[in-house]
Amino acid sequence: MIDDDNAYLADFRARLDLPGIIDVHTHFMPERVLSKVWSYFDSVGPLTGRSWPIAYREDEQVRLKTLRDFGIRAFTSLVYPHKPEMAAWLNDWTAEFAARTPDCLHTATFYPEPGAAGYVATALDRGARVFKVHIQVGDFPPGDPLLTPVWGLLEDAGIPALIHCGSGPAPGRFTGPEPIAELLQRFPRLRLIVAHMGTPEYSEFLDLAQRHAGVYLDTTMVWTDFSEADSPFPVAEHGRLREFGERILFGSDFPNIPYSYGHAIHALERLELGTDWLRQVCYRNAAELFAVS
């Protein structure tokens, strides 16, 4: 499977004349946190009746080599806390990881807690390029008053937050488009990358992209066989995929995916939105947003 992916992805890059692919949604995290995430996915099958076998359960160095062999030019190390007093420690780890991994876009995170503005400012000083927020796992409203200074810092710095805020695969108390719409009312210049195109509230998050120039969407898992079986993307929205083609970014969820990496790219190709759209989504938009050369 992985050998086939290398050949397919090399051919894809050659056909599109791309210097590489940029993947804005990949997970690298401290070993013991990652093993907890993997146990969660292992337990998902018995809980939901839908198994989630992780395709790339390997050591960190093997996973890095796998991405580089796929021709991934830049990627992230998305981490997210599920409780207080965890984010600053995760940010220390991601700063250290980015320092020893030059092709990783330095990633950080936060949680609504009194010290949040302080450690977010520190992360920005250290060169963080993107922040990850997970509304369902974190179980907090994005408009939490403790986050007011944090959103202000990000808005002023022009640094995006990649936010899992759609109600898939499981809804939370604060998931869905409304809390994000309210946040954007308060911080209209904020840059947000809506993970998974907002699955399953695709149209509502496209509406937000239409209203706010700082709203981007990542393609993570969308249009794969796995996602289409559960939360199919409406064909009626293909026009808006083209319209907002400059704000759609390829993401994979590597390594926690129940299918091969090449399938995620193939899922974009089979939309038949054209080679220029693919070039924007798989490389150009993220290269511009993160100044990758």
- Site map (CB under 5 A) of Zn ion, residues 103-132, x = contact: ------------------------------
Question: Taking the complex as a whole, how short is the minimal distance between the CB of residue 232 and Zn ion, in angstroms?
Answer: 20
Cβ(256)–Cβ(27) below 8 Å? yes
Report the alpha-carbon distance of residue 151 to residue 140 in Å, rounded: 14
Question: Taking the complex as a whole, how short is the minimal distance between the CB of residue 204 and Zn ion, in angstroms?
Answer: 20
Which CB sits closer to Zn ion, 117 or 253? 253
Residue 23 interacts with Zn ion (CB under 5 A)?
no
Binding-site size, Zn ion (CB under 5 A)? 1
- Rounded to 5 degrees, φ, ψ at 234 are -70, 125
Which CB sits closer to Zn ion, 5 or 253? 253
Which CB sits closer to Zn ion, 221 or 268? 221
Cβ(79)–Cβ(36) below 8 Å? no
Report the alpha-carbon distance of residue 12 to residue 85 in Å, rounded: 43
Question: Taking the complex as a whole, how short is the minimal distance between the CB of residue 58 and Zn ion, in angstroms?
Answer: 17
Which CB sits closer to Zn ion, 91 or 256? 256
Residue 218 interacts with Zn ion (CB under 5 A)?
no
Residue 5 interacts with Zn ion (CB under 5 A)?
no
Cβ(268)–Cβ(281) below 8 Å? yes
Strand (E) positions, the chain?
21-23, 72-76, 104-105, 107-109, 130-134, 161-164, 192-194, 215-218, 248-249
Considering only residues 243 through 272, tell me which ones interact with Zn ion, judged by CB under 5 A: 253
In this structure, the number of other CB atoms found within 10 A of the CB of residue 42 comes to 14
Which CB sits closer to Zn ion, 166 or 214? 166
Tokens linked to 5: 């992916």
Question: Taking the complex as a whole, how short is the minimal distance between the CB of residue 29 and Zn ion, in angstroms?
Answer: 11
Positions touching Zn ion (CB under 5 A) are: 253
